[in-house]
């Protein structure tokens, strides 16, 4: 998707929390990004480095935890793994799958001082 907007939103969350919690330096940032969230990880790393320059998060280590895609197959009536939206159900081969997980984009944790 547009990793620059996402990196800027991450920095805003970090800066808001920095004001509320009173820290001056962020050493590491943990993001949770779903497999189906449409985020290119390498591009996000590049954008994160650019937007955090001269901020509390300058030189912070970016850790990306990828969560697996999950769906509900309406034919099989069970949970199935979904690695991409256009893929068929691994057991019945059908496409009537409703995605139930793997779309999240969250800032989980920060290591600060």
Partner 1 sequence: MCTTCGCGIGQTLIAGHAIQRPRKPGGEMHYRVRGEGMTHVHPHGHIHDPIDSGAGPAGTHAPGMSQARMVKIERDILAKNNDYADQNRRYLSAHGIFALNLVSSPGSGKTTLLVKTIEALNGAQPLAVIEGDQQTDNDAARIRAAGAPALQINTGKGCHLDAHMVGQAMQQLDLQDDSLLLIENVGNLVCPAGFDLGEAHKVVILSVTEGEDKPLKYPDMFRAAAVMLLNKCDLLPYLEFDADLAVEYARRINPTLRVIRISATSGEGMPEWLEWIATGCRNTVAAKQLVA
Sites of contact with partner 1 (CB under 8 A): 1-6, 8-10, 12-13, 16-17, 19-23, 27, 31, 38, 40, 43, 46-47, 74, 84-86, 88, 95-99, 104-113
The least distance separating partner 1 from the CB of residue 99, rounded to whole angstroms, comes to: 7
The least distance separating partner 1 from the CB of residue 109, rounded to whole angstroms, comes to: 6
The least distance separating partner 1 from the CB of residue 90, rounded to whole angstroms, comes to: 15
Distances (CA, A) of 85 to 24, 69, 111: 41, 9, 34
- By beta-carbon proximity to partner 1, the closer residue of 13 and 76 is 13
Which stretches does DSSP call E strand in the chain? Answer: 26-34, 61-67, 70-73, 78-81, 97-101, 105-112
Structure token digits, residue 48: 């994160």
- By beta-carbon proximity to partner 1, the closer residue of 46 and 58 is 46
Rounded Cα distance between 94 and 113, Å, is: 51
């Amino acid at each position: 998707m547009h990793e620059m907007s996402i990196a800027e939103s991450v920095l805003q969350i970090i800066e808001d929390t920095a004001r509320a919690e009173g820290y001056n330096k962020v050493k590491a940032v943990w993001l949770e990004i779903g497999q189906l969230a449409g985020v290119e990880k390498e591009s996000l790393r590049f954008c994160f480095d650019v937007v955090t320059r001269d901020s509390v998060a300058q030189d912070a280590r970016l850790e990306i935890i990828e969560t697996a895609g999950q769906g509900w197959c309406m034919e099989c009536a069970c949970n199935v793994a979904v690695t991409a939206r256009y893929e068929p159900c691994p057991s019945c081969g059908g496409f009537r799958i409703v995605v139930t997980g793997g779309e999240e984009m969250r800032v989980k944790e920060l290591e600060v001082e």
